Amino acid sequence: MNTFSACLLGLIQGLTEFLPVSSSGHLAIAQHFLPGFEQPGLLFDVLLHAATTLAVVIYFRTDIWKLLNCYFRPKDQTHHDRHILHMLILGSIPTAIIGFSGKDFFAGLFDNLLLIGFMLLVTATLLTLAEKIRKDGRSLEQINNTDAFLVGIVQGLAIIPGISRSGSTISFLLLRGVDGEAAARFSFLLALPAIGGALLLSLKDLQHVATAELPAYGLGAVIAFISGLFAIRCLMDVVRRKRLIGFAIYCLLVGGSIIGYSLLSQ
């Protein structure tokens, strides 16, 4: 992988990881059209996800710190924090089961542009439904066991390229009556253990990376981190303003274009 490809993919990852348009889908599409692109396994993709995860940690550092030390503070002062932590753990269970059991299957989907196009249409549909029938009301502290478990399943299925992880999980929580900002915060926090697990599983691919390519990998990750911070701020503002429909239209256009290209190139 050359430096240009690494920087381009890092920028795409950073911007699309948090905007509800499917970073995995965009990475797969970009990699398809980059001449001579090769990488060992999905290591580079996971490194980019790790970089954007660091962006989540920086942006939500106060929330994360409160969750990490909630059992070291008086119980009467940390009731809500402990509840949120329990919901994140519960939501991570189905995601882990789906991810571990279907890792090889999902990895094989990244070369299927036609499928990615249709999954972008699925993302567009979810965003449209959430925009039209969302019922804001419940706070982060009011997310219950059913919400957490089901959104964990949704996040697990979002491994399929073309289905936006942030878009699908936020849309699901909005449809469940969770407030927009609360849905976005829970979605980002829920991503941390999932991406961390994926990174650990892909570390074995590190031995197959040529030493000369490591600087390109690192530069791509840095760009993903910086652009990811910018994208988080944008999405939080979009969710507050209830303007997801623009992203639905974007996914519809890109998905339709990729489907058309795939059918014509067969």
Residue 46's contacts (CB-CB under 8 Å, 6 or more residues apart) are: 195, 198, 199, 201, 202
**Is residue 138 helix, strand or coil?**
strand
Among 18-22, 40-44, 56-60, 251-255, name the most confident range.
251-255
Give the C-alpha separation, 193 to 97, whole Å: 13
Q: Is the pLDDT score of 106 beyond 90?
A: no
Q: What is the pTM of this model?
A: 0.87
Angle (CA) 91-202-13 rounded to 5° is 75
Bridge partners, residue 178, by sequence? 138
Please report the pLDDT score of residue 211 as a whole number. 66
pLDDT in tens, 155-191: 999 989 999 999 999 999 999 999 988 999 999 999 8
Element (H, E) at 101: helix 79-101
Question: Which residue bears the tokens 């996040």?
Answer: 155
Residue type, 127: L
Question: Which residue bears the tokens 């503070």?
Answer: 73
- Other beta carbons within 10 angstroms of residue 215's beta carbon come to 11
Structure confidence at residue 153 as a pLDDT band (50, 70, 90): very high
Tokens of 29: 């599409």
- CA torsion angle for 48, 116, 122, 194 (degrees, to 10)? -30
Please report the pLDDT score of residue 28 as a whole number. 87
Nearest to 227 by CA among 18, 33, 3: 18
Give the C-alpha separation, 100 to 109, whole Å: 15
- What is the residue extent of each domain of the chain? 3-264
Exposure of 182 by Cβ count < 10 A (0-12 exposed, 13-18 middle, 19+ buried)?
Answer: buried
pLDDT in tens, 226-235: 999 999 988 8
Please report the pLDDT score of residue 201 as a whole number. 64
Bridge partners, residue 138, by sequence? 178
Give the C-alpha separation, 22 to 74, whole Å: 40
